[in-house]
Structure 1
Amino acid sequence: MSVRWSFSWEDEEWLATRTPPADNNLKLAIETLIVPFGRSWQAVDNYLEVWRNMELEHGAEYSVSTPSAAVERISRDTVEIGDLYDQFEDVRLPVDEFVTLLTDLSAAMRNQ
């Protein structure tokens, strides 16, 4: 089964849902990370562009964060989302899942 994220805009924030379901900590990490994007798909697309450029320049070890969470690529296949304000426990997920969820968020914003 492939992993898919979907996003809904409720009470002035994006709520994340994962199939298969994510634990509450991972869901909170994603929702915290994306808070600064607001409803701006352009901000998400800019983030993804920087992410891809950093990959070209630095290979598998770099960081591209938002004001609400630190994101570090710790290997070719894994990212770690780090907590900045004691809101969640640091989590790891596959790079492909991370990029896909941001792409899906951008699409959700465009359709909002």
Structure 2
Amino acid sequence: MRRLSAILHDPARAEFCIVAIPTELALLESGRLLRALRKDGVAVNHLVLNRIVSADGAGGDAFVARLSAAHAKCVAQARAIGESSGVRVTTVPFFDTEVVGLPGLRALGSALFR
């Protein structure tokens, strides 16, 4: 356990990437996790918001439009967290199918590393 702890606390060897869904509660918990990890000396440089529904996909559907607006608010909150803490924020869109296999991982990778 000491060796693992030493690795986790060495920013040259490890860093923590927080991944959250776009809800207010998830962002509050992510912010708390970020502060706790940093207080403990663990490097945190990335926050990923997963399954973002964009306004582009609303197509006139009222529910999707409300969901998109809520996600946009969460993205703005996440970016504020990122700016205040020096963490890079990345968004990943909501995929219409489950991300499985090599094609799914390629699509996910394209969204993450654009």
TM-score by length of 1: 0.30
More strand, by proportion: 1
More helix, by proportion: 2
Which structure has the greater CA radius of gyration? Answer: 2
